[in-house]
Amino acid sequence: MGEEMELEFTEDLQLTEVMRLRVQSLQQRGQKRQDGERLLLPHESVYRLDFSEQELTFSHWNVCLKGLGRLSVTGISQLWTPDLTNLMTRQLLEPTGQFWRSAGDPEDAPLKCLEADIQEFGERIAELAKVRKVMYFLFAFKDGAEKDNIKCSLMFKKNEA
């Protein structure tokens, strides 16, 4: 196998803003969302991964969370061009990544997660990287988790050509 490579999730402020404005404009006009549309919730933000390399094998997740809380990461399939189309629930990938530390856990206890799910999710991301330069995700910060207290990245191995 080739060398390891870390890709960090970065917040896409522009897309998060576009999605927040969509919610506001619906509220202001008293309109309903489009059938099957997925609106951004107040505790969610849009994040992205940019693939500088596209031949990758998933290795593992690196998630750091200070304090208590839960981070939920949902992948968005490739059909979404946020400036042109609304996000639809059918574009959300399964499984999601769930990482948490509950009340009563020591602050430095390892994060809990659903191992099988995050493994499958990571492999899906590596698959999608073959055909895409960028991928979007919904990050949800729950149960006291705060954006500034979380760092999230993926480790891949570069495939030998």
- What is the per-residue pLDDT across 7-53, written as a single tens digit (0 to 9) for each? 999 999 999 999 999 999 999 999 999 999 999 999 999 999 999 99
Predicted structure pTM score: 0.94
Six-digit token pair at 96? 């999601």
pLDDT (0 to 100) of residue 105: 87
User: Which residue ranges form the domains of the chain, and what is each CATH number?
Assistant: 4-158 (2.60.120.390)
pLDDT (0 to 100) of residue 161: 64
Is residue 76 within 8 Å of 137, Cβ to Cβ? Answer: yes
> Does pLDDT of 79 surpass 80?
no
CA distance 151 to 161: 31
> Does pLDDT of 156 surpass 80?
yes
Is residue 70 very low, low, confident or very high in pLDDT (cuts 50, 70, 90)?
A: very high
Beta bridge partners of 139: 45, 73
pLDDT (0 to 100) of residue 1: 52
Six-digit token pair at 17? 């803003």
pLDDT (0 to 100) of residue 106: 85
Is residue 62 within 8 Å of 142, Cβ to Cβ? Answer: no
* DSSP helix/strand/coil, 17: helix
Mean pLDDT throughout 100-104? 90
Model pLDDT for residues 114-148, shown as the tens digit of each residue: 999 999 999 999 999 999 899 999 999 999 999 99
156: left (phi over 0), alpha (psi -120 to 50) or beta: beta
